[in-house]
Structure formats: structure tokens, C-alpha cells
Amino acid sequence: MYHIPALLHETIEGLNIKPNGVYVDATFGGGGHARAILDKLDKDGSLYAFDHDMDVRQNLIEDDRFHFIPHNFRHIRKFLRLYKLNQVDGILADLGISSHQINEGDRGFATRFDATLDMRMNATAELTAFEVVNNYPQDKLADVIYYFGELNNARKLASIIVEKRKEATIETTAQLISVIEPWIKGKRSRYLAQLFQALRIEVNQELEALKELLLQSKYLVKPTGRLAVISWHSLEDRLVKNFVRSGNTEGTIVKDLFGKFETPFRPINKKVIIPTEKEVEENPRARSAKLRIAERL
């Protein structure tokens, strides 16, 4: 399978789908969530799906109610306007990287393959992991590793990478791993996953795109409509949690003149929803998934 959708039942239930409603799957991927949404819609309902990874075209759904938009979800309002849509009944976003992207060794997403330092989800984008590793100033590279990978020895790693790239260009994932191998702390697989996560987030500007999606959802989702977001690491989940709580990604609570909290959404689930033991057993990659659902006030 291209990708097994995580928390599928919980997500579809949380969206509280209206049969004749208009919904957005902001991260189409393998189409698992999209198909489940379509199953809940009648002939008057519609689904708009976004994805900037062109590999997903193999999964497109032949259905008059389905509309594919080959762009990053950070541009969601602009492209929905082309369909004369100002508001929708619900938005779903399953963040992070798909099983397909991890299993495609030549794109540089996975630590177990030797591949070029690419890591672009959109193959037409200019910035690659090669550029980050070989051309970023040391301080900027250290910030990427520290803030997006949450690695405590980021400064040391950045200095080692900068020294090694003076001797020869670091072109592949295997070369990068070889350079930093002596400085790995803790469990090797987890450490490398965090380093690769940092580079991937920077290359694809993932957190900035998520912030833009969340802020636009305040205007896109109709009153009583739902926002459902599946995050895969603490950086994403923190932004979503802050937004649901406060209406902004910083988590700053704002009050109006009457002392009332100005929050556009209310959380449907007080505690974050995680996969059941049974789901993790059947789909081990789902173990990191966290779902938050909010309703537009």
C-alpha cells in the first residue's frame, strides 16, 4: 500500500461529516482519509484535496465529487477561491511524511537508504537538503538541527559538518551519517531520525506551512464545522495545541473588551487522541500519531 492512514476511524468520526457538506483533505497522500470522507458524502457533497508531491497522482480518485489541487496547503484559501469557495464544513490535515516517501530510497527521506541529499516533497522546489548541509552558515545550520531536530549537541554537529564540507562536498545521506557518526548520542536510529527530520522540515518549510494553514482555517471553517489535525512530532503538535486553545500558534490568550477569551475554536477532545494498541500492532508507524479535533464557534 502507498500509505496506511493513521487514526482513520477517530478522524472521520471527529469531523462529524455532513452528507451534503464541503470538505478539504489538506494532505491527500495515498488517499486513505479522502476515500473515507467520500464514503460519508452523498451526491451533493464534495471533497477538495491538496498535495504538492506529484507522486500522489497515482492515487487520484475518479469521482465527480472529488477535486484534486496539486499545491501546498499553505495556499489553501487562494486555491479554494478558484472554486468559488469561501468556507467549508471541515478540514483534515495528516502532517508529516508518508510511508511511500520513506520507502522511496532515492529521495533521501529515510536513514536506511543511501541517496542524494534531497528531501523535497515538491520536486520542483529550489531548496534541497544538499543546499542546507553544504551551504548554510554554521550558526544557521546549528539552529535548524537544534530547533527542528531537538538535538542538544546541534552546535557541535554543525561545526563538524562545516569542517568536513571544506574537505569535500557532502552529497549523500550515507556521507552525512558517516560525518556525524562519532557524535551520535543515545539510540542511533532515533538520533538519525531527528537529524533527518530537522533537514526535512527546513527544506519543506513544514512548520511555516502548518502555521499558515491553521491561521487560514479560522476564516475557512464554517461555524460548527470541524478541524482535524494529525501531527507526528512535538513541534507540530505544540502548534496545533496552541492554536486550538488560543486561535494563534504562540498560545497567547487574547481577551475582548468584556474579558471574554477570543478563541475561534473549541476543542472536541480535551486530551490528544493516540492510536490504540491494536492499531500500532497492525501499523507500527502509527505509534507517533496524535490527533486533535476542534469545532468552529
pLDDT tens per residue across span 127-176? 999 999 999 999 999 999 999 999 999 999 999 999 999 999 999 999 99
Per the CB < 8 A criterion, the answer to whether 202 and 144 are in contact is: yes
Domain boundary among 177, 204, 231: 204
**Do 177 and 35 belong to one domain?**
no
Label residue 208 left, alpha or beta by phi (over 0 means left) and psi (-120 to 50 means alpha): alpha
Residue with cell 468552529: 296
Residue 133 lies in a domain: yes
pLDDT tens per residue across span 224-281? 999 999 999 999 999 999 999 999 999 998 888 888 888 999 999 989 999 999 999 9
Residue 122 lies in a domain: yes
Secondary structure letter of residue 5 according to DSSP: P
Per the CB < 8 A criterion, the answer to whether 161 and 170 are in contact is: yes
Note the pTM of the prediction, 2 decimals.
0.95
**Do 59 and 80 belong to one domain?**
yes
Strand order across the 66-69 sheet: 66-69, 46-50, 22-25, 88-94, 221-231, 290-296, 265-267
Q: What nine digits make up the cell of 227?
A: 478541524
pLDDT tens per residue across span 19-34? 999 999 999 999 999 9
**Do 28 and 171 belong to one domain?**
no
The Cα diameter of the chain in Å comes to: 63
**Do 255 and 285 belong to one domain?**
yes
Q: What nine digits make up the cell of 121?
A: 516533497
Domain boundary among 204, 232, 263: 204
**Do 38 and 77 belong to one domain?**
yes
Residue 3 lies in a domain: no
Task: Quote the domain boundaries for residue 127.
Answer: 110-204
Beta bridge partner(s), residue 12: none
Distances (CA, A) of 57 to 28, 30, 49, 50: 10, 9, 11, 11
**Do 187 and 254 belong to one domain?**
no
Per the CB < 8 A criterion, the answer to whether 49 and 99 are in contact is: no
Task: Indicate which CATH number applies to the domain containing 52.
Answer: 3.40.50.150
